[in-house]
Amino acid sequence: MKKTGERSFSDGTRTPGVPENSKKGKRKQRHKKRQSGDAKNVSAQRSELSHSATQAEQTGSSRPEGAKRQRKARRAKPNRAERRALLNQKLQAPIVNVDEGGTSVEVLQPAPVKEGAKSRVSTHGRQGKSSEQKLLRHAQEYRSTGSEDKGRHRHSDMRSDGTNRFPTRHRNQASASQALYAALDLGTNNCRLLVARPEQRGFRVIDAYSKIVRLGEGVGKNRRLSEDAISRAIEALQVCQQKITERGVQRARLIATEACRAAENGAEFVERARKEAGLQLEIVSQETEARLAVAGCVSLVDPEADGVLLFDIGGGSSEIVWLDLRNRYGARGFALTRFVRTWTSLPLGVVNLAERHGGVHVTPQMFESMVDDVTERLETFPLGNELSRAIERGNVHMLGTSGTVTTLAGVHLDLKRYDRRRVDGAWMEQEDVSAMINQLLNMSYQERVENPCIGEDRADLVLAGCAILEGIRRRWPCQRLRVADRGLREGILMEMMAADKVWSNSNQKRRRAPRKEYNK
């Protein structure tokens, strides 16, 4: 039998059969106490507010007791531009001329100081007379040495890694992120220069130059660089040297490719370029050229692709690279250069192939003979059958970097004027590429000259490039082709900046202190 008790009410009576220590009864008692306590707190707060209001009326203050007094607005300090203007006024006081009669006053403002003469001003406190005298002395020294530096011919000095250091007055003040880099590619057909500054995820182009010089003209027959071709190249290199000097480039790499590799007088030309243009060229190998082409174009690789067939159709040679990306595990950008499976360099380019078969008036039979010449060279490609099986499985696309593919893309887009922003990164299907090649093949030489995306400089070479592209497509037919208006110059810049760790240094600066200790 369960024990029973009695519930008590407020009047002292109890209910028989209900336990006295029930949880429900205790819960109600706690709730009543809480309500009574809340009512007391509210009344206490109201009394305090009324007391503070009456006190404020007696003292004449509108601020209640306990409230914080608002601080007065501080006087705004001059910013950096204002401090610089005040300092310039002290260093360069205006000259006031008053005539004898006192009827007119003439104020002459001094000439502004050059940007290089300005020094950093401390933002902590006011500067004394010693700092002003120091700045004035620095400006006078700059004026005295500035005239001596004008007209001085600056030569580059070669580093151990093949790059060049160019002297500059402010190299110590320039950080890695502010330094300028230059890349020069002297090919068989073109001379190209690119000046850029590193940024967070790449680089920003500051200056660019490109000129068709046809340095390899006649090398296939005579095995020597002609005097006219050397003169055209030296003239273009002098323009590049002037741009590098005016921009204040700190690091540069200047390469020469197939024309200087194949010519017997290639080394003599390099020495002549050093003396007459002030630039030290580096004749790179075929492997280096293929690696730089990959480094310059990997940013256009499809993130979902399992492989890429990259080709660079040059003036004297053509590089073909297979990127096997089945195990890249999310790698992208410059990191994709580690996934080169195999590569080759064909001794065929648009210049020597056009010289061998003709480039002005090209018939379908001549075009097929050029394609057969390319196909025969591709038989020795290493791992060619394995690449064919990878393409059959799908998810492999082509990536072309040359004047040939950019011309095809411009004609395909029907551009009235060549626009790099629309061409670079454009996709073309297999049917579109075939249609564009047939369209160019049916054009006459004059029609190719009048086309805004071809012009007179490429009219006799574009069909030779199409023959090389057609030979690659017949050997490894891919459904998609991506066009890249970039190449060796971009690859040179990416490698130099990666070697200087400009991106890793910026990432380390953004890290927190505990992570730095953890990395140690």
For residues 408-419, b (16+ Cβ closer than 10 Å) or e, as one string? bbbbbbeeeebe
pLDDT tens for residues 136-188? 454 454 444 443 443 334 445 555 556 665 554 444 434 555 789 999 999 99
- Cβ atoms 400, 296 nearer than 8 A: no
Task: Identify each DSSP E strand in 25-146 by its residue range.
Answer: 95-98, 105-108
Which residue is listed with tokens 């620095």?
A: 138
What was the pLDDT predicted at 201?
A: 74
Instruction: Kindly report the pTM of this predicted structure.
Output: 0.64
Please report, as a single letter, which amino acid is at residue 61: S
The rounded distance, in Å, linking the Cα atoms of 211 and 190 is 6
Nearest to 354 by CA among 457, 213, 217, 461: 461
For residues 486-496, b (16+ Cβ closer than 10 Å) or e, as one string? bbbbbbbbbbb
- Ranking 45-54, 86-95, 218-227, 495-504 by mean pLDDT, the lowest is 45-54
Domains of the chain in sequence order: 151-284 (3.30.420.40), 287-499 (3.30.420.150)
Give the DSSP letter of residue 216: T
Judged against a pLDDT cut of 70, whether residue 519 lies above it is answered with no
pLDDT tens for residues 433-456? 999 999 999 999 999 999 999 999
Which residue is listed with tokens 């025969």?
A: 376
- Ranking 126-140, 271-285, 310-324, 497-511 by mean pLDDT, the lowest is 126-140
C-alpha distances out from residue 316 to 74, 136, 372, 437, 463, Å: 71, 58, 18, 21, 15
The rounded distance, in Å, linking the Cα atoms of 70 and 379 is 85
Nearest to 197 by CA among 178, 175, 210, 215: 178
What was the pLDDT predicted at 199?
A: 87
Long-range contacts (CB closer than 8 Å, 24 or more residues apart) made by 408-411: 408/433, 408/436, 408/437, 408/440, 408/466, 408/469, 408/483, 409/483, 410/452, 410/453, 411/436, 411/439, 411/440, 411/451, 411/453, 411/454
φ, ψ of residue 254 to 5 degrees: the values are -120, 115
What was the pLDDT predicted at 178?
A: 76
What was the pLDDT predicted at 46?
A: 62
